[in-house]
Chain A
Amino acid sequence: EIVLTQSPGTLSLSPGERATLSCRASQNLSSSYLAWYQQKSGQAPRLLIYGASGRATGIPDRFIGSGSGTDFTLTISRLEPEDFAVFYCQQYDTSPITFGQGTRLEIK
Chain B
Amino acid sequence: QVQLVESGGGLVKPGGSLRLSCAASGFTFSDYYMSWIRQAPGKGLEWVSYISYSTSYTNYADSVKGRFTISRDNAKNSLYLQMNSLRTEDTAVYYCARSGWAGEAISWGQGTLVTVSS
Measuring CB to CB, which residues of chain A are less than 8 angstroms from any residue of chain B? 31, 33, 35, 37, 39, 43-47, 50-51, 56, 88, 90, 92-93, 95-102
Contacts and interface: CB of A to CB of B under 8 A. Distances in A.
In terms of DSSP, what is the predominant structure of the interface of chain A? loop
A92 B103 contact: yes
B32 interface: no
Interface stretch (B8-16, B40-48, B68-76, B82-90): B40-48
Nearest to B60: A96
Given A35-B104, A92-B104, A96-B61, A102 B109 contact: no
25 contacts: A31-B102, A33-B102, A33-B103, A35-B105, A37-B105, A39-B45, A43-B110, A44-B95, A44-B110, A45-B95, A45-B108, A46-B108, A47-B104, A47-B105, A47-B107, A50-B100, A50-B106, A51-B104, A90-B45, A92-B104, A93-B102, A95-B59, A96-B47, A96-B59, A97-B47
